[in-house]
Amino acid sequence: MQWAEFLNQLCGQWQSTRDRYHVTQNQWQAPIKEESIYTCPETLVADKVWRISITKGTESSTESIWIAYQPNEFYFFDQRKRYGLAKYVPNERTLNFYWKKSHDQYLKESWHLASNHLCFSSSRVFLHGKLVWISFLWGYKKAHKKA
């Protein structure tokens, strides 16, 4: 499966719970429960550039642009001025994101699509090269109601 197919399988409404652990404070933070809606990727340039919108809860949608530059690797940008690199591992159905949060802080996030209706992610934030916090998310795609 190519990474564009992976993005297509993320389309829909997801319910998720994220557990967070603050490494330097040695304690768990309150979990975050949220609903997210991912639009199907809109092709802007065939096999090269896509746009996706993500809505979380009552927040307005965040549009992101995905630009392929090598097989299973691409750059991504969103309207909050975040940008980074992502790499897709086809045989693991995993998408790894890497981006800087500030000049001395960066984040690595791995999304694993276990099935079309179940996903898992882990995130790690590093400050000055040291792990600061880690989080784990389980997500379930909500079934569409039949009319």
The model's pLDDT over 69-85, given as tens digits with 9 standing for 90+, comes to 888 888 988 877 678 89
The model's pLDDT over 107-146, given as tens digits with 9 standing for 90+, comes to 999 999 998 899 999 999 999 989 999 999 999 998 765 5
124 phi, psi to nearest 5 deg: -135, 130
Q: Where are the alpha helices (DSSP H) in 1-147?
A: 3-9
Report residue 9 CA to chain centroid gap.
13
Residue ranges of domains in the chain? 3-141
142: left (phi over 0), alpha (psi -120 to 50) or beta: beta
46 phi, psi to nearest 5 deg: -50, 130
Question: Mean pLDDT score of the chain, rounded to an integer?
Answer: 88
The model's pLDDT over 37-66, given as tens digits with 9 standing for 90+, comes to 999 999 999 889 999 998 987 777 888 898
Query: What is the reported pTM?
Result: 0.81
CATH class of 3-141: mainly beta
